[in-house]
Amino acid sequence: MSKKMEIKKGIGVSPGYRIRRAFVLEEEDTTVPARFLSPKQDVESEIERFHEALKASIRDLEDLKQEIRKKLSPDLQEIFSVHQILLSDPAIRQKVEEKIRNHRCTAEYALTRTMRSYIRKFRSFRNNLFSNRSQDIRDLEKRVLRHLQGKKRKGINDLKEEVIVIAKDLLPSQTATFDKKHVVGFATDFGGKTSHTAILARAFGIPAVVGVGDLTAQVSNDDIVVIDGTNGLVILNPDEKTLKRYQQKERQHADFWNRLYTELKDLPCETLDGYEIKLWANIEVPQEVSLAVENGAEGVGLYRTEFLYLQSGKVPSEKEHLNAYLQALQELKGRPLVIRLLDMGADKYHHRSAPLQEKNPFLGCRSIRYLFEELDILKVQLRAILRASAHGDVRILLPMISSVEELEQAKTILEDIQEELHKQHLAFDENIKVGIMIEVPSAVLIADVLAQKVDFFSIGTNDLIQYTLAVDRVNEKVAFLYQPAHLSILRMLQHVVEVGKKNAIPVSICGEMSREMRYVLPLLGLGLTNISMTPVVIPEVKKIIRSTTLKEAKEVFEKILSFQTSEETEKFLETKIQQMVPDIFEVLQPTI
């Protein structure tokens, strides 16, 4: 009897489509019973056995780092450098040793008790970015246990055919060692967009969906599974009709990308009537720059530097900042690099900011406010950015500016750092450009004042929509109220662009709104200087822009300003884009 088709909704963390048989990755049994040493067994010998397992685990991680360096980028190996640091942490060693000595228990039991206490602490944090770090601790626990117990990891290294991996969760070290020839997609019960596993999936280019729920309980080895990483869907045992649709979509997606790349890679991003607009990329790690450039990015409009802090679990040094920025500049080959200062807080934390844990973090000590509280962090980053500016076109982006006072304070600190570098005879761009994120309503209303004090605006639609509509964008209960096409948002965008033109400063947009196909026409019609987006969607946006005129785009924007509801606007824009570029619409729309 054939199994019934089921459609599961999760979080798409890496786009693309795959239809393959499932390989269900069984969880390793890490249940460690309470066992104690016999009177004849020596405590110090047990501690030495623990030390040897730690040493072997650290060697494993060094090998894994070298593998990552060859496959991806030196930056991603830092994930496992952190694992090495944790295993070398005297506090962890001491706690395990104390348990062995005080309770005369086995090294396995002492290790598990210690690591599980850390896991509980990490999971107690409400924000996903910090709680996701519990996966790293669990990964380390399993690694050391394997050496203590003399076991090898049950893996998928002997695969002979392409599969989709299904797992409760994937540890960073598991994802890092995937053989891309055979693992062509994965889906997990747990996980989020900010986990190290999700970041590695995007770097590998493997379609992936996480946070699906009880997926592993419903999938067996060799079941046919569809992964729709673009729309966050997992389809189990698709019926014949769905299977054929997704087979066609997978072929279309591959053909479409090849065709777009071939057609557009050497062509300017301009409308049919000759209006040119720059397409830039949003990145989190330097290795994304090569993909962005390959897809046609003319610069990086938003370098989110939070990953520098989150990947290492510590505050990066000036040298670490500088090396990351120089790597990005090297890949850009003269193209601009806009670096946003650390935007920590709200739903993003590292170990220094975690203790804040505010009741309403999105309205609390985040972004520039947090940096003013942690001046040492701010100054280290500014020094590195300034020093990098001596090697290429670097620009500074200040996050969540809500008042003139905040802007003036930030500029004063920047001037102090510039004076320091002068005294140390360290080179930097004396005329480095400084811009601000327009992402709160107060900044929109005083944009005319702010424009006189900065070199450019970058509109962050994610937070602007959230703060304007009073909608928590990660709250499922009010998600339907998060409406980029809301008339108030459209009027705000129009106002900021008009202010930019009056003051002769460039205005770009870098929020998620810029990656949605249906919004390309109105954003073009606004008269933005450039649009910054996820690297993978650049060819699609370029295709749309080259298929229309600036006159038509302006008419579209004027038309949607006459609508009173978001629903009317969304329907009109979707119909318009479907008529203009039906091939893009067909590839990206969900089949179900």
List active site positions: 196, 510
Exposed/middle/buried for 224, CB within 10 Å: 0-12, 13-18, 19+?
A: middle
CA distance 409 to 83: 38
CA dist 179 to 160, 161, 216, 580, Å?
A: 11, 11, 21, 39
If one counts every other C-beta atom within 10 angstroms of the C-beta of residue 150, the result is 7
CA distance 336 to 339: 10
User: 82-114: string of b/e by CB count within 10 Å (b at 16+)?
Assistant: bbbebbeeeebbebbbebbeeeebbbbbbbbbb
Element containing residue 513 per DSSP (H, E): none
Query: Given the DSSP bridges, would you call strands 530-533 and 337-340 parallel, antiparallel or unpaired?
Result: unpaired
Beta pairing partners, 303: 283, 339
Residue 58 carries which side chain, given as an amino acid letter? I
If one counts every other C-beta atom within 10 angstroms of the C-beta of residue 468, the result is 18
CB 380 within 8 A of CB 317: yes
Candidates 417, 430, 353; CA nearest to 390 is 430
CA distance 237 to 4: 7
CA dist 34 to 37, 106, 107, 110, Å?
A: 10, 8, 10, 9
Locate 415 and state its tokens: 């001037």
Candidates 265, 343, 253; CA nearest to 304 is 343
